[in-house]
Amino acid sequence: MNELYKHIVEWTLWSLAIFSVVTWTLIILKSVQNALLGIQNRRFKKDFWSAADLNAAASLEKYVGPTARVAAIGFTTLRSADSTPAANNLENSWDRQDLLERHLRQQIHKERRSLESGLAVLASIGSTAPFVGLFGTVFGIILALTAISSKSSANIEVVAGPIGEALVATGVGIAVAVPSVLAYNFFLRRLKLIAADLDDFATDFITLVQKSGFRVHTIPTTKTANRVNDFAKTKNEATKEVLA
């Protein structure tokens, strides 16, 4: 039985070590992701709002990042609406502004889901690591008390050593949980800020294209044409699912 308790304590510490590696890996990856997205968004918005007109802004296809993708889906929606023949059916019954708002909102939700990746893992580790450590401590104390009971005397020197070793698991669990919780709160705050920034950009984008009657007059490049075709295909598939 003592061997079983010893293995449980070891497995607990190894689990916490794995939790720690996963936590710091996610912290590094999410930090790089947030820094990169911040740079991409700033560069795109700088050139977007510096464009001579809406048609020039629609030609900024070399940029990547959440804001660039939101703008791209907006221009793609308008081009698709221009290239789709009028028809009396549900597929083409959307008002241009409603259609644009719908697809901008969908793209923002997609960006949010991308930014949320890894946060659930951080939250889970932050909430469970202390209990995993406590679990190891319980069996460590049982093992320590069993060892103490086999000794002839039970003074403080005999008791303190094994009990102190058993409490190490709790300390490790807390040490793993603290950075995980802090990282989760930080990245959740960053996600909300980026999402709010995308919402603001989408609102400004709608106001901007409203002046042109929700139309873009640029000649689409191959990349844009492919995006329009993909968009139209996705739209048709979604409509068929709704009508089915």
Q: What share of the chain is helix, strand, coil (3-state, %, to 5)?
A: 85, 0, 15
pLDDT at 119 over 90: yes
Mean pLDDT over 49-59 rounds to 82
pLDDT-derived band at 14, boundaries 50, 70, 90: very high
Q: Is the pLDDT of residue 233 over 60?
A: no
Cα 127–131–134 angle (5° rounding)?
150
Stretch 121-133: mean pLDDT: 95
Across 11-18, average pLDDT: 93
For residue range 137-171, list pLDDT tens digits in order.
888 888 777 777 777 666 666 667 677 777 888 99
The confidence band for 193, taking pLDDT boundaries of 50, 70 and 90, is very high
In percent, how much of the chain has pLDDT > 70?
Answer: 77
Cα separation, 122 vs 126, whole angstroms: 6
Q: Distance of CA 119 to CAs 107, 138, 193, 231, 244, Å? A: 20, 29, 15, 30, 36
At 166 the pLDDT is 79
pTM: 0.76
